[in-house]
Each structure stands twice: as structure tokens, then as C-alpha cells.
Amino acid sequence: MKAFFAREQLLHDQSVEFNRGELTAPYESGKRAEMLFSALEAAFPGAARDAAEFPVSHLLDIHDADYIGFLQSAFGEWIAEGRTGDAFPMVWPVHDMRGEKIPNTIVGKISHYSFEISTAITKHSWISARRSAETALSGAQELSRGANMAFSLCRPPGHHAGRGYFGGYCYLNNAGIAAQYLRNEGALRIAILDVDYHHGNGTQQIFYDRDDVFYVSVHADPDTDFPYFLGYADETGAGKGEGFNLNIPLSRGAAWPSYGEALSHALNRIGDYAPDALIVSLGVDTSAGDPLSGFLLTRDDFARMGAAIAALQRQTLFVFEGGYAINDVGGNVVSVLNGFLGAAHSTP
């Protein structure tokens, strides 16, 4: 197994977060990536690889050109207007407001391109987000060269980023960019299995009208959890994509009996789809004790998850998403990977 990472991903360093009515230290910090990288090095000596660089065209395959331009210039514009600190949104164009308008001021632009208040643009957000996407691309490239599996340690995460918006700690949709890369390399069908605690609203939006990428998500019910306005079971795709979007929301307090049943259903549907490759948006914020979660998965449950995914016998790229119990993130991810590798090696 090869595990890809880029040190530039640590540069993004948001100073504060507004979460559920409180100003807090950011839950999504570089420390979680550092802890995970150390755990990977200890568990899989020699597996770590530096992420390669890729043309920005791979990002434009998924994201709108004006949005990419905004990410590249936003912090510079923020500073040029005489502002200091991190750049946060202020107003969202809801209901009858003109959401298609892009104001000239940077505060207006940030408000246009974001969908929530906890995620800021910082001095290094663009370089970290781009290197995170290139980490996912490096894993996808490894699969295109014939590898059975790879792990991409992506930070910032990606599954909340849509074609033209950021939020939920996400700026570029790493799993989506990797999926399109594999399509460009000749794969006819890709499945994305999202096991993060939160629904990947951005990934769903990107592929909602497509039948060549099947998005399947097991997540917390948006009636009670972020992102609240997408992730319901009746969202099944549109146009050519009808039937190729599957949401399986679970109630808070879900432990392995109910989670495992939902995962089995998700994997059966993916098996019926028969993808050429599988991308797993691997969030381990489903663990008991995660500060942003209400599920109760254990270390052993993560190993079961990895083994169940391996049973599909598909080329598989794991793309790291959430997981905010910093002391547990590394062990939980390693458990998933060990479960996958153990099952894969025992399969005839």
C-alpha cells in the first residue's frame, strides 16, 4: 500500500471557528493530519509518498472556473481591502435575494462562494487545498497504474465542497476530483462511498445528474446534523443521474448493529453497479467520543468496515475526510486500512 501526503497541507491554519453558537479553536487543524501521518508511518513503514503536482485543469474538470479563480485570489483581496486576520463570510443570499450576483467587495464574494460560517479563507488556504486535491490525484494515479488500493491523506477535507462553493472545512472536492481523473483515464463507472459522519453535500451536488459516478453515503440524519439541507433518503439523482445517488441517513446514537446493516446495504448497491473503481470518502468522525459526532463506532468496528469494503474486490482509493478526536484519528484510520488489507489478502 502507498499512502500519499503533502506537507503544504499543514499550512492552512484557521485561527478561530464559530460553531453552534460558540467561538472555539478550530476542530479541523493541521494537528489531526500530523497525528494521522505518524500513525501511518508506524503501522505501514515505507508506505508514505509525497504527493505529485498536477495541472489545475484537473480541478477545473470538477469546479467552476470563477470559483477556482476566487480561491486563488481571495485572501490577497481581503488584505488589499485593508482587512486583517482570517476572511469569513457575512451574508448568504437566501430566499428571494439574488444569489446569482457576485459582489465586487471581497466580503460579498466570500459570502457568495460559501455556505456556512465556520470555514474561513486564510493566507494559505489555496495552497493547502490544492495540495490536498493533488494528494487525492496521486492516489487516483496509483490506481490508474494498476494498484489495488491506495490511501490519500487529504487535509483540508473535501466532500462538502461543491462545484462553486466551499464550507464544512472543505474547499476542493478531493474525492470528486479523483473520480473524474479515473474517468479521464478510461474507467467507465466509478462509485464513491462516503462514510463520514456528515453527508457529503458537495459530492452529491457535483454528480447528481450523472450515471457514470454512483454516490452512496451513510451519514447522520440531516434533520439533526450538518449540513441540514441535503442528505435525505428521497434525494436519488436527477436526469441521467436518477437512481445513481443513494443516501442512508441514520439517527444519532447509531452503533455497529445499525451502522453495519446500512453499510451492507450500501455495499450491495455498489456491487450491483459494478464500478471499475471505488473511492471511499473516509471520515472517522463516526467514532464514539468524536466532538462533532453522535455515532458510537469503535476501533474494532472500523476494522469491520475495512473488511466489508474489501469484499467488493474493487480497486479502492481511500480519501481522508473528517475525524476530530485527535488522539483517536490515527488508530481508527489504521484499523480501516488493516481490515481492508487483511480481508483483501485472504480473498482467493
Cell of 30: 493541521
pLDDT digits (tens, 9 = 90+) for 91-129: 998 888 998 899 999 999 999 999 999 999 999 999 999
Residue 348 above 60 pLDDT? no
CATH number, domain containing residue 229: 3.40.800.20
Residue 285 above 80 pLDDT? yes
Residue 344 above 80 pLDDT? no
Q: Is 342 helix (H, G, I), strand (E, B) or coil?
A: helix
Residues with catalytic function:
160
Q: Do the beta carbons of residue 175 and residue 322 sit within 8 Å?
A: no
Residue 302's pLDDT is 98
pTM over 0.85: yes
Residue 94's pLDDT is 87
Residue 346 above 80 pLDDT? no
Count CB-CB contacts under 10 A for residue 273.
17
Domain that holds residue 249: 3-346
Residue 347's pLDDT is 61
Average pLDDT value for the chain: 97
Residue 217 above 80 pLDDT? yes
Q: What is the DSSP letter of 53?
A: P
Task: Name which of 146, 138, 142, 133 is nearest 52 in CA terms.
Answer: 138
As for how many domains the chain has, the answer is: 1
Q: How far apart are the first and last CA of the chain?
A: 18
